[in-house]
Amino acid sequence: MNYQQIEVSINTQTKAPFFTGSMLRGAMGYALKKVTCINPSYQCQGCFAQSSCLYYNFYEQQNNFHNYRFDIELGSGKFDFGLYLFNDATESLAYVLSALEMMLTQVGLGKENQTFKDIGIKLNGEEIYDGKEFRSFDAIKQNALQIDSFCPNVKIKLCTPLRIKKHNKFLRDDVALEDILRSIYQKEQEFTTDQKAFKLAYEPSYATAVKALRFQSLVRKSNRQKQKLNMDGMMGEIAVMGLDQESHRLLRLGEIIGVGKQTVMGLGRIEVVNL
């Protein structure tokens, strides 16, 4: 699986809200439509260009597996963020970057629609924007997931609320390693085969799993639905000893594609640390 990693740094004295994911996704959607829409009516319903429209694919298409996700830090007070593009979405990189610049310099973020001047943007670790203009990024290769080493002892950090459904209910008290692995495997199958998978194709093995988890309440306001929506989930750490190699691979993949529901807004972000 190929992907592009965009990192945005914003130097400002203004403090960002506790959860920036929905704000970023909404503002980018507005800007992306401005950048890509070729329909004089500016309406998505019945549009002749739906099948090739990046905005429609990202925001309007129903029952669609999204090929992108925002990467955020909860409660950091900063507007800095990341954005991952996967598979076909990587081919629309220029449109996405143009929308991000418009979002930050013209559309603005938050209730006050604050715009920014001191901005830096990196693509796969290389600087491509200095706050004034983009430099050519044609020579920057896409990332490909490569796992060069294996460690059976790891710590899994649930950095933003993890929302996983089990028996038609979101987990609130506990989350098993198998639940995390199954979610990552399901996403991988949708990415690679465009098919849904409900069970792991193997039996995970490990010696022990020590958890320090908590339930994180989180609410966001939806302007489209005109109501508040729950975005809560599990956070904390899981230390795993004696993990099998395939599970280690899936966890490393989960660092890139996210885990569980609402990953497009930055939820389900995990970090895996070798012990």
Residue ranges per domain, the chain?
2-144, 154-274
In this predicted model, what pLDDT tens digit does every residue of 192-235 receive, in sequence order? 888 888 899 999 999 999 999 999 999 877 766 677 888 999 99
Out of 3.40.50.620, 3.40.50.170, 3.40.50.10320, 3.30.70.1900, which CATH number does the structure's domain 154-274 have? 3.30.70.1900
Cα 211 from Cα 177, distance rounded (Å) = 10
pLDDT of residue 147: 84
Query: DSSP label at 202?
Result: S
Answer yes or no: same fold for 2-144 and 154-274: yes
Region of 271 on the Ramachandran plot (φ > 0 left; ψ -120 to 50 alpha; else beta)? beta
Could you give the 3-state DSSP secondary structure of residue 81?
A: strand
Q: Which residues of the chain have pLDDT under 70?
A: 223-225
The model carries a pTM of 0.94
- 62 C-beta neighbours (distance < 10 Å), count: 4
pLDDT of residue 128: 97
Q: Check: CB of residue 183 under 8 Å from CB of residue 164.
A: yes
pLDDT of residue 151: 94
pLDDT of residue 225: 66
Tokens representing 26 are 């909404």
Tokens representing 244 are 């099998």
Q: What is the percent of the chain where pLDDT is above 70? A: 98
Cα angle, residue 30 at apex, residues 123 and 186 outer, rounded to 5° = 60
pLDDT of residue 81: 98
Closest CA to 85 of 267, 270, 264, 254: 264
Q: List, in sequence order, every residue forming a beta bridge with 4; answer none if it has no partner.
A: 85
Q: Which fold has domain 2-144?
A: Alpha-Beta Plaits (3.30.70)
Closest CA to 243 of 167, 168, 156, 162: 156
